[in-house]
Amino acid sequence: MECRALPFRQLPHQSKLFIQFLDNFPRVKQFYGHPPTIQAVKKAARSLEYPRERRAEVAEILRGQNAALGAGEATRENLARLEKGAVAVVSGQQVGLFGGPAYAVYKAVSAIQIAEELTRAGIAAVPVFWMATEDHDLNEVRISTWFHEDRLTRFELPGNGDAGQPVGRIALGPQVAEMVHEGARILTAAGGEFVAGIFRESYGAQETYGSSFGKLFTRLFAEQGLILLDPLDARLHRVAGEVLRRAVEEREELNEALLARGQELDKAGFAAQVKVTARSTLIFSMGQGPGTRQPIAVSGGKLVCGEQSWTKEELIQAVEAEPEKFSPNALLRPVLQDFLLPTAAYIAGPAEIAYFAQAEVIYKQLLGRMPVILPRAAYTILDAKAEKLLRRYGLKLEDVWRGSQELRRRMETSSVPSTLGKNFDKTLGESDRMLSRLKKQIVRLDPSLGGAVETAQRKIAFQLEKLKRKTGKAQALKTGLIAAHQEFLESLLYPHKMLQSRELCFLPFLASWGMGGLRELQSLSANANQKEHKVLRIP
């Protein structure tokens, strides 16, 4: 397997805060508890204090959850290690259809790798994957895009009747059966019979977005013993009720700290990821309507959600009585997660890293500790055809990211027959030399005409380049390939103008690669390698 590394600053759609976090951490260290290094993780792990009773209770809940998902011996062993004192290396993601975008897999392999690195260093650690089943944006999870037979295939489940419900509880329904049949056919055709079997075992009409995602990841990472966590479990809400209660009790202080942090970020030249106003709270209600999840806000001196309102004291009592009817927002969620788990490190994507810059003030007040935030491993996968086309047109991956117009220009120019292309270059050079000689003579006659000669040089060079490009286009159209090649490269490497890992499902890649590909990805996910984006050529 060939691998090329790119700094994240060369990638499209990267936030300024994320780039500084990677390239110049001292500039942003005030927003985070630790530097993003394995040494910091080891230090945090050795000093982490976590109540024994909570550890036992959470481990027992997770034992039941993972058994229901079909977990094997490696996961059971990791749960026993967690109960006996191991720290957790955590990552998480929404429970997307068919595993969601590829980076969900990359998060899991990163957590597994860091946990193994800690264990080899004498610090017992286990990987945990937090399934974001409480999220209520169904549109973020009901679509899966696959790259197959040189084009994109879109799988999409309905999204009308379940608005506002936590996605983890929504059943996939009978429409998924035909999609599973087609998906299994695609995976088998790519040589992935084993992957197709896992796929069929995980998805059925009776499954929910949460249960199917959990079963898929349990099977994909059975050998590595990945522990799955479903936060919709009412028992976990009861364990974490203290965090939800304090979020209500201390709303004013927390809100003030968040508003101040927003100003600090703005002053430092960064944008806050989550908008916070004077009316904001950190919790949602899941008790208004049939399972809907809605934010609670301050209005008229009361805490309001839909048609229901509470005084602060009433809401505190409601949270204490039925914590399962409330859930954290994006900023409180990681704090609640790390109250439940002895987290030494959290593996985060670029957007999440920006969230943590705000959440740090909540960690400080409610938990008194914060895990080390590490960037997830990131990949773009090339197959043999993509590599061949890039070489044919003299392109790099970065050229595809520059957009359709620039990519087409490069492809047309490089399509000029080699002899003709050399003649264009020769003509351009001769023209430039001729005009340079003329310029010397013209300037002696009238110095003010020097600029006119330079303008003429630029225009001639532009027109020759334009003619060369048109010639290449004519050649490509004659062969009828350039449009198809452009579509192939963009569909695989920049689908819908998004990074591959954010848009494409990983399963078709795994089917072609084989299950050993997960171990190869993991080996490339060592902490020392996570600050670069890797371009992989797979079989």
Residue 518 to residue 341: CA distance in whole angstroms:
25
Length reported for the chain: 539
What's residue 164's pLDDT?
77
Read off the tokens for 352: 């999440």
Handedness of CA 392, 398, 402, 403 (dihedral sign): positive
Residue 58: exposed, middle, or buried by beta-carbon count in 10 A (0-12, 13-18, 19+)?
A: buried
For the chain, domain boundaries = 2-239+332-380+502-531, 255-328, 392-497
User: Taking CA 506 as the corner, what is the angle to CA 343 and CA 196, rounded to the nearest 5 degrees?
Assistant: 110
Per-residue pLDDT of the chain (539 residues; tens, 9 = 90+): 678 999 999 999 999 999 999 999 999 999 999 999 999 999 999 999 999 999 999 999 999 999 999 999 999 999 999 999 999 999 999 999 999 999 999 999 999 999 999 999 999 999 999 999 999 899 999 999 999 999 999 999 998 766 678 999 999 999 999 999 999 999 999 999 999 999 999 999 999 999 999 999 999 999 999 999 999 999 999 999 999 999 999 999 999 999 999 999 999 999 999 999 999 999 999 865 555 789 999 999 999 998 899 999 999 999 999 999 999 999 999 999 999 999 999 999 999 999 999 999 999 999 999 999 999 999 999 999 999 999 999 999 999 999 999 998 888 888 766 555 555 566 666 666 776 676 667 767 667 766 776 776 777 777 767 766 776 666 666 556 888 999 999 999 999 999 999 999 999 999 999 999 999 999 998 866 678 999 999 87
- Spatial separation of the C-alpha atoms in residues 219 and 76, rounded to whole Å: 14
- 33 burial type by CB count under 10 A (0-12 exposed, 13-18 middle, 19+ buried): middle
Q: Is 0.85 surpassed by the pTM of this model?
A: yes
Q: Where are the alpha helices (DSSP H) in 402-506?
A: 404-414, 418-445, 450-479, 482-493, 500-503
Task: Tell me how many degrees the CA angle 337-339-340 measures, rounded to the nearest 5.
Answer: 65
CA distance 254 to 252: 5
310 closest CA partner among 285, 335, 282, 347: 285
